[in-house]
Amino acid sequence: MTTLRMVLGDQLSTTISALEGADKRNDIILMCEVIDEATYVKHHKKKIAFLFSAMRHFADDLSKDGFQVRYIRLDDPENTGSFKTEVARAITALGVDRIIVTEPNEYRVFADIKTWVTDLGTPVEIRADHRFLCHADEFQAWAKGRKQLRMEYFYRLMRRKYNILMDGDLPLGGQWNYDAENRKPPKNGLDVPPPFHSSPDHITQEVIDLVSQRFATHFGDLLPFHFATTRKDALAVLHHFINERLPLFGDYQDAMLTNEPWMYHSHISFYLNCGLLLPLECAQAAEQSYHDGHAPLNAVEGFIRQIIGWREYVRGIYWMQMPNYATANYLEAQNPLPAFFWNAQTKMNCLRQCITETKENAYAHHIQRLMVIGNFALIAGIDPDKVNEWFLIVYADAYEWVELPNVSGMILFADGGYLASKPYAASGAYINKMSDYCKGCSYNVSVKNGPTACPFNYLYWDFFIRNQDKLRGNPRLNHTYATLAKMDPVKQAAISDDVTRFWKDTLTNGLS
């Protein structure tokens, strides 16, 4: 009996359920680089190079460990270009009796795999993905009957379930959340440690050559390329973070500095999302660092909350709300995506910095995504389809299960408040407080109206005016709407004029 065990590009963990019980003599592991996946959106060049290289290294390690691996390269002349047709080709070539695969993380791929049994005429066993800490069914059971979900309560459940930072049944230190001690503005002269760099080996170099030939028209800089592409190097990134950055992670979690794209963040999302790192081991490594006296509780708790809280929470929402989540547009936002999202040519320094760094690194840290790029997309009323496509393309950690809830739920309020209790809209004052971007900007953050005003200032109020029918009843926005009710009509007219001028400049010159 020949069993085909399929391992997808984001399932690069030796503990993946598809490999459980594998028979090295008789089973074949199938891995394939297919053009359908590389181009269903035009992913950043670095993202494609990273994933193909990580897949090739993983396949090599499996072969060295004695497994039989059928690895289909993108440039293999026989490559048929999709998962289903590659499985069909393997069935014919190898005389496969059954297929085992771990449930994929994208709705689109899952829908495809469900058609394999009938279309390919071979039994398919779809196994649960145990790498996540909360299965979709468990999340649904928790969410059932709740009108609005709160990440904080879900997070406490995960803390208890995995006994992380617990003192019996109580949170270590007496509090579940230490955010009040976190999120300081950046100090002048912060000495941010350099990020972990790995150098391309011959496998990565081959992939870089392939990507530069085949994906030249895709967004982003391919070089320099320093991502880890093996489990060993991904672990080194994790330990580099724990040793060098974790102690200040909480303090500067929301801080942004010019030419400091990496700040005190961990840079592990690429590796977590493709399976080179596992969420529980990352959370436990951080917890150990607290017990060793290396990192303070506010930093460790803040980091662990991102991994066992936010990451699992957005995944739960994705599987509960798909497929409708992908088309949600509660605020009926319809504006186009400005050209500067692709070329970074804007006079708004904050956006220029964050988009340039995204283009160079296929990475921006959370607060750049949330409070600069995301905040702009929200208050400027950009069509969620366009924003989602952009975020899925440009980041090397982007997969729909994590990108879509963050974009449609967290930044755009397109789900009407299911994920976040209010829109994360902010004026230029927030960006000025948390970064040094405004100092180098052509606009003036303290000017509210007119051609020199920071566009975030008038777009902010325009957002609340435009959406008042839908947002005024939200108790968390009482203060905002009370201020708006007192606003002079002349000022409201000036806001409207500014927004008209802003869009005219953006669409005609592309240079707001």
Binding site for ligand SF4 (CB under 6 A): 348-350, 428, 431-432, 437-438, 441, 443, 445, 454-456
> Does 307 sit near ligand FAD (CB under 6 A)?
yes
Check binding of 314 to ligand FAD (CB under 6 A): yes
CA dist., res. 502 & res. 511, Å (int): 9
DSSP tag of 444:
B
DSSP state of 320: H
CB 512, min distance to ligand SF4, A: 9
Select from ligand FAD, ligand SF4, none the partner in contact with residue 349, using the beta carbon and a kind-dependent cut-off of 5 to 8 Å: ligand SF4
CB of 134 to ligand FAD, least distance (A): 13
Strands 68-72 and 166-167, by their bridges, are unpaired
With a CB cutoff of 8 Å and minimum separation 6, the contacts of 436 are 186, 256, 257, 258
Tokens of 466: 């435009």
Other CB atoms within 10 A of residue 329 CB: 16
d(CA 407, CA 392): 10
- Indicate which single residue of 5, 47, 265, 352 sits in contact with ligand FAD (rule: CB under 6 A): 265
Contact pattern from residue 392 through residue 431 relative to ligand FAD, giving x for each residue in contact according to CB under 6 A and a dash for the rest? ---x-xx---xx--xx--xx--------------------
Place of tokens 């193909």: 52
In this complex, which beta carbon is closest to ligand SF4, that of residue 268 or of residue 379? 379
Helix or strand run (H / E) with residue 167: strand 166-167
The CB-of-355 to ligand SF4 minimum distance in angstroms stands at 12
Does 266 bind ligand FAD (CB under 6 A)? Our answer is yes
- Cα Rg of the chain (Å, integer): 24
CB count within 10 Å of CB 366 equals: 17
- Taking CB within 5 to 8 Å according to partner kind, which of ligand SF4, ligand FAD, none is near residue 431? ligand SF4
Nearer to ligand SF4, 279 or 428 (CB): 428
Number of Cβ within a 10 Å radius of residue 324: 8
Instruction: Single out the residue of 227, 390, 391, 458 in contact with ligand FAD (rule: CB under 6 A).
Output: 391
For the bound state, the minimum distance from the C-beta of residue 366 to ligand FAD, rounded and expressed in Å, comes to 4
Decide whether 19 or 367 has the Cβ nearer to ligand FAD: 367
CB environment 106-144: b (16+ within 10 A), e (fewer): bbebeebbeebeeebebebebeebebbbbbbeebeebbe
Find the distance separating the first CA and the last CA of the chain, reported in whole Å.
64
Residue partners of 144: CB distance under 8 A and separation at least 6:
none
Choose, by CB under 6 A, the member of 58, 116, 139, 310 that binds ligand FAD. 310
Site for ligand FAD in 359-378 (CB under 6 A): 365-366, 369-370, 374
> 255 and 184 in contact (C-beta within 8 Å)?
yes
Cβ proximity to ligand FAD, 10 vs 462, nearer residue: 10
Q: Which residues bind ligand FAD (CB under 6 A)?
A: 265-269, 272-273, 306-307, 310-311, 314, 365-366, 369-370, 374, 391, 395, 397-398, 402-403, 406-407, 410-411
